[in-house]
Amino acid sequence: MAFIEADGLTKTFTVRKKRQKGQLLREKTQIRALDALSFSIEKGELVGYIGPNGAGKSTTVKLLSGILTPDGGTARVGGRVPWQERRQHASHIGVVFGQRSQLWWDVPILDSFDLLREIYRVPEDRYKERLNALTEALQLGELLRTPLRLLSLGQRMRAELCGSLLHGPELLFLDEPTIGLDAVSKLALRDFLMQENRRNGTTVLLTTHDMEDISALCSRVMVLGHGKKLFDGALPDLLARYDTRRIITLRYAGEVPLPQLPAGCACEAEGGQYKITYAPDKLPTSQLIALLQSAGDIRELTAQPQNIDHLIAAMYREMDL
């Protein structure tokens, strides 16, 4: 049996519409957040879970963490039904929400960690060993006596991760963990998550709109839309059908007019630099580069695929999400 087994999960919420002028009561409407969702995740997998706002990602996390109870279907995580065995289940999972905190705002983060140790009933020797390893890996040693409110966003996210992993959970839910972080903090956080996954076999379910996080961390991605699973597989397989354009940027050694480009190529010129967009299935990259070289000496040339966010946006449009 897989570590996570979801079978036909269904969840509906009742939402009150905004009251219109002249109405005495607000109308109610039913929104199906999840519609017979099924999937399985093996222990130790690092899975990206993506979809537009309102797709049902957060609802899935709340069901698998035991916060919500489904209207239909069932799920087992490590052999447990999350919403039926909440207390036992909580000791096996960790949750990090990018815009919410489990740590206390006005006290040093070490005091918050000590309180979490009490909550999760972690033995003292195991706690000290885990705390030392995590604070070293996350570079928190000099910050342990600092109140959470005085930390930068990147430092707070590292502290949140530490707090979520102190009890050694088998499963870690990450909801937008790098939101608002600078490039250095993002890279450090990604590197830590990969190490934690490899070293301890922690299963990770990552929900995010940052496709660079997904690309860097996840070998598998699931796409959710309108409460249904639309794709489950490798990210390159998902993007292959949308990755139909390439971009070449080049600059010649001198003032050289660009040669006549084949039909289907688009070119932008600015300050002596050319940016050419083309379809590699219709015009091989080697053929285009040979044509560009025939015009003169090239000083700089780079070839790259489309931005991954543009590919995901194209996918959402095609799927009517």
Q: In the chain, what are the domain boundaries?
A: 4-240, 246-305
Residuewise pLDDT in 10s, the chain (321 residues): 799 999 999 999 988 777 777 666 677 888 899 999 999 999 999 999 988 888 899 899 999 999 999 999 999 999 999 999 999 999 999 998 866 788 999 999 999 999 999 999 999 999 999 999 999 888 898 999 999 999 988 889 889 999 999 999 999 999 888 877 888 888 888 898 998 899 889 999 999 888 888 888 998 999 998 899 988 999 888 877 777 888 999 999 888 888 889 888 999 988 889 999 998 888 898 999 999 999 899 999 998 877 777 777 777 777 776
Tally of CB atoms within 10 A around 305: 14
Residue 24: per-residue pLDDT: 66
Right CATH for 4-240 from 3.90.1150.10, 3.40.50.300, 2.60.120.10, 3.20.20.20: 3.40.50.300
End-to-end CA distance of the chain: 32
3 state DSSP class of 189: helix
State both tokens at 293.
Answer: 């070289």
- Residue type at position 199: R
State both tokens at 109.
Answer: 């983060």
DSSP code for 209: S
Q: Are 164 and 129 within 8 A, CB to CB? A: no
Angstrom distances, CA of residue 260 to CA of 103, 131, 275, 276, 280: 61, 63, 14, 12, 17
Residue 211: per-residue pLDDT: 83
Of 104, 96, 95, 186, nearest in space to 151 by CA = 104
Handedness of CA 135, 139, 145, 150 (dihedral sign): negative
The alpha-carbon radius of gyration of the chain (Å, integer) is 24
